[in-house]
Structure 1
Amino acid sequence: MTCVPDPSCLSLVVGGRSVSENLDRALASGRITLRPDGRYTLPEIQMQANGVGLSDPYIFRWHGAPYPCKFFADFLFNHAYAGAAVPWGCRNCYKIKVETPTLRQMWRMKALAESLSITTKSGAEALNPLNQSLYGTYLYHCAGGLEAARATLATLRPLIAATPELAGVAKISIKRCCTHIELACGPSDRYRFDPGLEAVEAYLYTRFVLDYRPPAPEAMLNKIKTLHMARVAFQIGDETYRDFTDGKPLHRRCVDYAEETPLAADEA
């Protein structure tokens, strides 16, 4: 990303205030922090929760350098733009989403998606209040645009159709940008991008850092996320969670006193 050293670009008005004012308000509320070196970052507690996957547990498989979604979606959109503008850097971001009804099927879809040379994430979404999916696998085209996503979809469809566990049950769609961005600024096919945002993002990219160390190695975090997915499956009645507990239930059933038994005389 080209560096634009002139901070005057932060005077651009987004969401009724300048970008500079939006950042000051986010700093004052503690939603972002400023390091001693003058760079912005996200609070450690927020990064820890996301890293462990306590909200939306996803397992990522990266191909190439990770796309700076924390910068675009979390820092820029949520704070610098106050949720009022889609970042310039997100304009060509499209992703294929494959929804599956059980954890077992999601795990099969995860393996299929990861066999392709593309960044993916897979996880449980039943506790996500922003959609109605139970489980989702995403294949990312963060900069390639819609045509690249459609080309991958053309490859993916016959693979899904040839997989017995997925044929007829997987729901496939192409999304643009992040769900929370489209809910705030959509419909996404009507996005309008202010060219002035390009200079803002080039400048702020030099002023932002993920000041965060994962609490555990990635392999261990993925085990924690898998356990969390099993717990979500248990909560929604998806018994395929037992694939990940050696067939054992997470909890034994409680005694049910509503069985059809004759009422005692004093209950009749």
Structure 2
Amino acid sequence: MRRTAGSATTPAVAPTASSPLSPDFGLAPAVAGFVVGGRTIAAALAEAIADGRLIENEPGQFCLPSDAGRERALASDTPTISTPGSFDAPCHLLHHFLFAEVYRAAQVPQGCSACFKIWIRPATIRALFALKEVLDATPYSSKIKVEALDPGSPNVYLALVYGGDLSATRTAYASLRGVVDADPRLGPDVPMEIRRGCHAYERACGPSDQYRFPPGLAEVEAALAERFVDARPAPRPKPQRDAAARLRMLQIAFQLGDESYADFTGGEAIASPVVRYSPTTDEET
């Protein structure tokens, strides 16, 4: 069982039925009574448990249902390949637990306030894989994604680079812009931009330059991090996950009519050619 950095001392236990210590789950009054989106933290936790969106696996210890990741994966077909690097934040805690379940998308977590990313949008699957080679040679954490089948995304091919705070991300942008521009497989026409946090935050909370973080929020998040257990099952080995994601990316590129996918299939078509018949003559096409 994996845990966030804030819950390293939490014992590994299997989720069981909820059995709260008290209406405030044993949290300090300043934490239990902290209000986000019109709810106290204690009320939000109780509501999430009652709805089945959270599990209290021991009194005062919380985890997400073990199938939550599977539900998110089914909600949008977005194959992703990640490359680890210098960025190391507890995104499962911050996004899926705090933002989605405790704050109910009414507040961006304080822990995400200094997270900036470089968005890069190549035009083809060929360019996306070339971009991955470029990013893998840097110290930055990054991922490539195909979001064409995600109804909540305007992107087709996307790479994300995690730069850290805004100053560090601007430095990373300047370095990567030069490398991308000089690569004949990419070039200056590949769009790049800096964004703050996750796209879901702006959809729910508005423009990222207007985020507000009330006093005391950092202390609330530190207390809740001590109570959160990452109960996700261990994933398959990364080479297997990456190979499956790469195959799905090529399949989607084929569906989109992006013929550059054939660079990675030895020139072979993913689907066999078919015979088509004219509706008015005996000619076959």
Q: Under a length normalisation based on structure 1, what TM-score does the superposition of the two structures give?
A: 0.88
Given candidates 7, 10, 13, the residue that maps to 2:35 is 13
Q: Are the structure 2 counterparts of residues 55 and 196 from structure 1 closer, same or farther at C-alpha, using a change threshold of 3 Å? A: farther
Counterpart position of 1:39: 61
Kindly provide the amino acid, as one letter, of the partner of residue 84 in structure 2: W
Given candidates 237, 241, 260, the residue that maps to 1:217 is 237
Q: How does 1:188-207 map to 2 (within 5 A)?
A: 188-207=208-227
Counterpart position of 1:163: 183
Q: Displacement, 1:234?
A: 1.7
Counterpart position of 2:255: 235
Q: Deviations over 1:99-154 (max 9, x none)?
A: 0111110011111112111111112111222322111111102xx31111101111
Q: Displacement, 1:70?
A: 0.9
1:88·1:195 contact (CA, 8 Å) conserved in 2?
Answer: no
2:44·2:103 contact (CA, 8 Å) conserved in 1?
Answer: yes
1:51·1:214 contact (CA, 8 Å) conserved in 2?
Answer: no
Kindly provide the amino acid, as one letter, of the partner of residue 100 in structure 1: P
Q: How does 1:117-136 map to 2 (within 5 A)?
A: 117-136=139-158
Q: Under a length normalisation based on structure 2, what TM-score does the superposition of the two structures give?
A: 0.83
Identity %: 35
Q: Are the structure 2 counterparts of residues 199 and 208 from structure 1 closer, same or farther at C-alpha, using a change threshold of 3 Å? A: same
**56-65 vs 176-185, greater mean Cα deviation:** 56-65
Q: Displacement, 1:194?
A: 0.9
Distance 2:36 2:83 in 1: 34
Counterpart position of 1:248: 268
Kindly provide the amino acid, as one letter, of the partner of residue 103 in structure 1: I
Distance 2:83 2:159 in 1: 11
Structure 1: gaps (5+ residues): 264-268
Structure 2: gaps (5+ residues): 8-26
Residues 1:138 and 2:160 aligned together: yes
Counterpart position of 2:137: 115
Q: Are the structure 2 counterparts of residues 53 and 25 from structure 1 closer, same or farther at C-alpha, using a change threshold of 3 Å? A: closer
Q: Aligned Cα RMSD in Å?
A: 2.5
Distance 1:253 1:24 in 2: 57
Q: Are the structure 2 counterparts of residues 233 and 187 from structure 1 closer, same or farther at C-alpha, using a change threshold of 3 Å? A: same
Structure 1 runs of 4+ off > 3 angstroms? 48-55, 253-257, 259-263
Q: Are the structure 2 counterparts of residues 61 and 33 from structure 1 closer, same or farther at C-alpha, using a change threshold of 3 Å? A: same
Counterpart position of 2:167: 147
Counterpart position of 1:79: 101
Distance 2:165 2:244 in 1: 33
